[in-house]
Amino acid sequence: MISASIDIETTGLEAGVHEIVQLAVIPFNEKFEPMGRFVSYIKPLRPELADPTALELNHLNLTELNKAPTPAQVRSCFIEWKEDLFGQEQICPLGHNYASFDSQFLKLFLTSQLYGKLFSYRVEDTSILARALKRVGLLPKELKGSLSSLREFFKIDCAVEHDAYEDALSTIKVYKKMLDLIGVKI
């Protein structure tokens, strides 16, 4: 199974209403070194439903997004990229808030059936792991669970917050630091 950090940026918080407008998938090896990447902006099909706050947070605008490839084009390119690199092997997703946010959008973007073919049901989620580490005292209880708070705590640099590629890359680094905290040897 291939491990890959996955992040999306969206036009809002509600899957089914809002859409993915940026997708980043970064496979990594057992030493947490990236082994390639798939990154694309995606043209929203329902731009009128975009939440202006989400677009501002993600440093995106509809004029630029309207020049991006369509969801169908990105879906096709992603599947081709994944199969060229990994064949029929499933991807084990790593993400921050992946289980409760990103996966819901991706299941709609790809269809649940295709999602199940491409991705493992096994998910590694740094937001869930952070809550567990706080409960057992390995992270400060007052530490916020956001990716930016974890980056700051672990002293991980990031060029741009709320960019799918940068956030996916940061998630790999945060995950490795968390595993180091609990003594998992790589």
8 Å CB contact between 135 and 40:
no
What is the mean pLDDT of the segment spanning 22-27?
A: 98
pLDDT exceeding 70 applies to what percent of the chain? 99
What is the mean pLDDT of the segment spanning 112-116?
A: 94
Q: What is the pLDDT of residue 161?
A: 87
The answer, yes or no, to whether residue 34 has pLDDT greater than 90, is yes
d(CA 55, CA 149): 21
Q: What is the pLDDT of residue 158?
A: 86
The answer, yes or no, to whether residue 159 has pLDDT greater than 70, is yes
Residue-range domain boundaries for the chain: 2-181
8 Å CB contact between 11 and 54:
yes
The answer, yes or no, to whether residue 178 has pLDDT greater than 90, is yes
Q: What is the pLDDT of residue 186?
A: 64
Q: Give residue-wise pLDDT tens across range 119-155.
A: 999 999 999 999 999 999 999 999 999 999 999 999 9
2-181 CATH? 3.30.420.10
d(CA 131, CA 149): 13
